[in-house]
Amino acid sequence: MAVYRSRHALTGPLTPERVAALDLPRTRLGRRGYQPDVVNALLYRLAHELHEQGRQLDLAQAENHRVKNALRTWQTRQARIRHERP
């Protein structure tokens, strides 16, 4: 699968700040081209969604860490119980 690249595309990882700060080039011929208000609204929406996805990823990683630690604790307890049995 090919990745679209243009000279105006963002390089590197997308962050909410980078998307919100992006200023798309305008066409040279008067009113032809995109409507800046519509595109800016889309960029702010993308920034918000990227922020929310990052927040959800952080929560999932924290929960993963908590579950791994709980499992390790449980495994250690079980090993001690087995070792202490006559």
What tokens appear for 40 in the block?
């800016």
Planar angle of CA 21, 26, 30, nearest 5 degrees:
145
Do 16 and 47 meet the contact criterion of CB atoms below 8 Å apart?
yes
Q: What is the pLDDT of residues 12-27, one digit of tens each?
A: 777 788 778 877 777 6
For 59, other C-beta atoms within 10 Å of its C-beta total 10
Q: What is the pTM of this model?
A: 0.60
What tokens appear for 12 in the block?
């590197």
Do 33 and 26 meet the contact criterion of CB atoms below 8 Å apart?
yes
Q: What is the pLDDT of residues 45-74, one digit of tens each?
A: 888 888 989 999 999 999 999 999 999 999
